[in-house]
Amino acid sequence: MFSTFGLGAIASAFEEAAMFYTHTNGYFSSKQKHVAGEALAFIQGTGLEITLKVYGLGYDANQLRQTFFRIFHVKNSA
């Protein structure tokens, strides 16, 4: 059950960050932009690695990032 919480948090972050790259019918409130920005920072920073380790999830953070950015056709600056 503990790992389910971690996986849910990670999935939620990816979903919120996806708002930057999906159609929003021209409406993207400042609150939504802030939440999406925080989620994107979590994904790009060390938060993803820490969450994977704390919850004991056997996923590769870099592979998750690459898949996320590939889906939304975002060029990797690194």
Res 24: pLDDT: 67
pTM of the model: 0.81
| 6-62 pLDDT tens trace | 899 999 999 999 988 886 666 778 888 899 899 999 999 999 999 999 999 999 999
Res 59: pLDDT: 94
Q: Are 40 and 20 in contact (CB under 8 A)?
A: yes
Identify whether 52 is part of a domain.
yes
Identify whether 21 is part of a domain.
yes
Rounded to whole angstroms, the Cα distance separating 54 from 17 reads 21
Rounded to whole angstroms, the Cα distance separating 46 from 58 reads 16
User: For residue 78, with 0-12 CB atoms within 10 Å meaning exposed, 13-18 middle and 19 or more buried, which class applies?
Assistant: exposed
What is the pLDDT confidence band of residue 77, given thresholds at 50, 70 and 90? low
Identify whether 51 is part of a domain.
yes
How is residue 8 written in tokens? 């849910």
Tally of domains within the chain = 1
Identify whether 76 is part of a domain.
no
Identify whether 78 is part of a domain.
no
Q: For residue 30, give its domain range.
A: 2-71
